[in-house]
Amino acid sequence: MISYLIFIPIVSALILLTWPVRHVKLIRWWVLGVSLAQIVVLSGILIHYDPHDSWQYLEKTSWFSLSLGTWGQLQAEYLVALDGLSLPLVALSVFILLIAVISSWNTRENEKGYWILFLILNGSIIGTFCALDLLLFYVFFEFMLIPMYFLIGMWGGPRREYASIKFFLYTLLGSIFILIGIIVLYLSYQDPTQPGLAHTFNIIHLSNPANVIPESWLDGSQTDHRVILFSILFIGFAIKLPAVPLHTWLPDAHVEAPTAISVVLAALLLKMGGYGLIRFVYPALPDAALAMNYTVAVVGVISILYGAINALASKDLKRLVAYSSVSHMGFVLLGLASGTSEGVSGAIYQMISHGLISAMLFVLVGVLYDRTHDRDINHYSGLSNRMKPFTGFVLLAFFASMGLPGFSGFIGEVLVFLGAFRSSTLGTLDAWIAILATVGLVLGAGYYLWTLQRMFFGPFSSHTSAENLTDLTTREYVMLVPLAGTILLLGILPQVLMQYINPFVQQFMMLLAQVTF
């Protein structure tokens, strides 16, 4: 089942390569069909998914093996499965990618190339969230960069060349750190079914400290080695997350990318940083994670505050949303570092919720940009007088992003705070870290409310002619209504999502608790 999700888009992309150019208009219908087909497959998965069971829909085929001489055998597998962490993210991906298809419906420039790259991106995103083989994960993770680079560089805004190369170099640097980590990890772990013979990329085996090869570089007694490796992997994923000070690629990439690509970037690609940390860095190196959690928390808080302060100072609406992403992803780190089940649940919940909210925010920025080609906050005033439904959606998205109760953002952030404060009573983190993070909330309310006041209220004025500022079209409603609905649903009935996350978090906490070294 999962393979269908991954390979329907990739095979479609290959078929589209030979598509005759004179029928180029049909391509977007094809791509829409792919997304709808993915929704159908996903529904099938959701119906039969049992939240209380661990790995489901597991598919396993051997990929290649390589003799390493005296070190035994290196085995890579095509191994995909879903659990309470990956299923919500896959569902989010399928949903957001559908929104992105609708959002880029009017792309006319070099249409064929755009959709082919988009489909490749689609398949590799889902592959990243499903892969249970570390090498497979890395391949999908890195493969995303190539279509992303071209999508930003060819269909982006005025400074797209700079933004795309910066994005590619930064994230490749992160990937290289991860690759270093992967090589060291698999050479230090063995396959429990063939002890002494086979090294493994299998994330399930890597999550079990019993599989560390005695006397290897990561041997349990080598605490400093494990901390070094944790730091390397953490830097790699922090670039993707992004965490301050490794975030500088993000505002540029977001500002220059076309709307649909910004949506995908914010809603899905940023989640891979947090996903990687939760999926294998923490389980494989729990002791090092424990030793480093103070640093992780501080990085998280700095991201929260620094992102918020930058958002406050942004003049470009898209840049503001981009910095707010940096700020919100800081909560993921804080939740993880708290080491409590509330905090970790909050981190995962925040990832999903931010995926929806940031997608909605970027769609809304796109709505405005499509009409006026101007995103400068100071160029507008009193938009609510002319675009009432649009203003309504903006209000909803801003409030959700601020973390007001009733919206999904609230649940994630509250859980993270609960975790952070509890960990200060447990003595793992200091209380001031959690207190500082709450300042981030206040700043968040500040920049959103200020923007609302500047752009939407007061007397109407605009730097472009008012005729352009027409209200939402049907296509835009089709994107915004489901997003708003899901955000409200997850805010009012968190159980919808929690039923999947909870069993996973329980297992995750057990993994962390078995720090035996």
Partner 1 sequence: MNVSESLQWNTDSLFFLASEGVVLIGFLLILIAGLIPSLSGFRFLKTIFLVTMVVATFTTFYSWPVDPLTLFGGLLRTDDFGSFFKIIFYAGAFITGWMTSPSQRRYHEYFLLVMAAVMGSGWLVMSFSLITLILSLEIVSICGYVLTGFLFTKSGAEGSLKYFLMGSAFTALMIYGASLLYGYTGTFDFSSESFFHQITTGPERLVLIGGFLVLGGMIIKIAAAPLHFWAPDAYEGAPTPVVAFFSVVPKLAGFAILCRFTLALHSFGQSPVSWQEILVGLAIASMGIGNFAALAQKKPKRLLAYSSVAQTGFMLLALACLRLESIHALLFYAIVFAIGNFLVFLALQTWEDEHGCTDISSFAGKGKHALVLSVGISIGLLSLTGLPPLAGFTAKLFLFTQVWGVADQTQDNLLYLAFGFGLLNTVISLFFYLRIPFFLFFRSQGSEPIGSPETKLSTSLLVALLAIALIALFLRPDALTGWINRVTFVL
Indicate which single residue of 36, 176, 313, 481 sits in contact with partner 1 (rule: CB under 8 A): 176
The interface region with partner 1, picked from 46-54, 132-140, 239-247, 394-402 by CB under 8 A, is: 132-140
Measured at the alpha carbon of residue 352, what is the angle toward residues 348 and 355, in degrees to the nearest 5? Answer: 135
Q: How far is the CB of 187 from partner 1 (least distance, A)?
A: 6
* Minimum CB distance to partner 1, residue 63 (Å): 8
Q: Which of 5, 13, 92, 145 binds partner 1 (CB under 8 A)?
A: 145
Q: Which CB, 135 or 415, lies closer to partner 1?
A: 135
Question: Considering the complex, what minimum distance in angstroms separates the CB of residue 139 from partner 1?
Answer: 4
Identified binder of partner 1 from the candidate list 66, 158, 467, 516, rule CB under 8 A: 66
Residue 26 · residue 33 · CB < 8 Å: no
Give me the helices (H) in 189-285, please: 203-206, 223-240, 249-256, 259-264, 271-276, 282-284
Among 1, 24, 37, 180, binds partner 1 (CB under 8 A): 180
What's the rounded Cα separation, in Å, for the pair 410 and 144? 31
Q: Is 133 helix (H, G, I), strand (E, B) or coil?
A: strand
- Single residue of 56, 86, 160, 229 touching partner 1 by CB under 8 A: 160
Instruction: Give the HSE-up count for residue 45: Cα atoms under 13 Å, Cβ half-sphere.
Output: 26
Q: Is the distance from CB of 356 to CB of 362 less than 8 angstroms?
A: no
CB of 68 to partner 1, least distance (A): 6
**Using the rule CB under 8 A, which residue among 11, 32, 165, 298 binds partner 1?**
165
Binds partner 1 (CB under 8 A): choice among 139, 435, 452, 489? 139
Nearest distance, CB of residue 277 and partner 1, angstroms: 20
Q: Which of 36, 68, 197, 442 touches partner 1 (CB under 8 A)?
A: 68
Of 153 and 419, CB closest to partner 1: 153
- Indicate whether 179 belongs to the interface with partner 1 (CB under 8 A): yes
Q: What angle do CA 257, 263, 269 make, to 5 degrees?
A: 90
Pairwise CA distance, residues 384 & 238, whole Å = 38
Q: How many Cα atoms are found within 13 Å in the side-chain-facing hemisphere of 454?
A: 17
What tokens does 348 get? 């995962």
Q: Which is closer to partner 1, CB of 14 or CB of 313?
A: 14
Q: Which residues of 486-502 are buried (b: 16+ CB within 10 A; e: fewer)?
A: bbeebbeebeebbebbb
Touching partner 1, residues 354-383 (CB under 8 A): none
Q: Burial, 378: exposed, middle or buried (Cβ in 10 Å; 0-12, 13-18, 19+)? A: exposed
* Separation CA 8–CA 5 (nearest Å): 6
Q: CA–CA separation, 458 vs 240, rounded Å?
A: 39
In angstroms, what is the minimal distance from the CB of 117 to partner 1? 11
List 24, 58, 173, 488, residue binding partner 1 (CB under 8 A) = 173
Q: Which is nearer to partner 1, 110 or 506 (CB)?
A: 110
Identify the residue among 118, 167, 168, 421 touching partner 1 (CB under 8 A): 168
Segment interacting with partner 1, rule: CB under 8 A, options 33-41, 181-189, 448-456, 508-516: 181-189
14 binds partner 1, rule: CB under 8 A:
no
**By CB under 8 A, residue 143 contacts partner 1:** yes
Task: Select from 157, 139, 177 the least CA-distant residue to 262.
Answer: 157
Give the nearer residue to partner 1 in terms of CB position, either 84 or 153: 153
When the beta carbons of 95 and 143 are compared against partner 1, the nearer one is 143
Question: CB-side exposure of 325: number of CA atoms within 13 Å?
Answer: 38
Q: Which residue among 15, 43, 65, 463 contacts partner 1 (CB under 8 A)? A: 65
User: Least CB distance from residue 165 to partner 1, whole Å?
Assistant: 7
Which of 169, 426, 466, 513 lies at the binding interface for partner 1 (CB under 8 A)? 169
Query: Which residue from 55, 64, 432, 477 is in contact with partner 1, where contact means CB under 8 A?
Result: 64
CA 320 – CA 161 distance, rounded (Å): 21
Q: Name the minimum Å distance from CB 265 to partner 1.
A: 18
Indicate the residue among 95 and 149 with the shorter CB distance to partner 1. 149
Please write down the HEC assignment for all residues of 495-510: HHHHHHHHHHHHHHHH
* Long-range CB pairs of 59-66, under 8 A, 24+ apart, other chains included: 59/2, 59/3, 63/133, 63/135, 63/136, 65/198
As measured in angstroms, the least distance from the Cβ of 243 to partner 1 is 19
Tokens encoding 410: 């609230």
Alpha helices in 373-515 (DSSP H): 388-402, 408-426, 431-451, 474-492, 495-513
Beta carbon of residue 159, minimum distance to partner 1 (angstroms, whole number): 12
Within 10 A of 466 (CB to CB), how many other CB atoms are there?
12
Site string for partner 1, 200-229 (x = CB under 8 A): ----------------xx------------
Q: Which residues bind partner 1 (CB under 8 A)?
A: 64-69, 71, 74, 110, 135, 138-139, 142-143, 145-146, 149-150, 153-154, 160-161, 164-165, 168-169, 172-173, 176, 179-180, 183-184, 187, 216-217
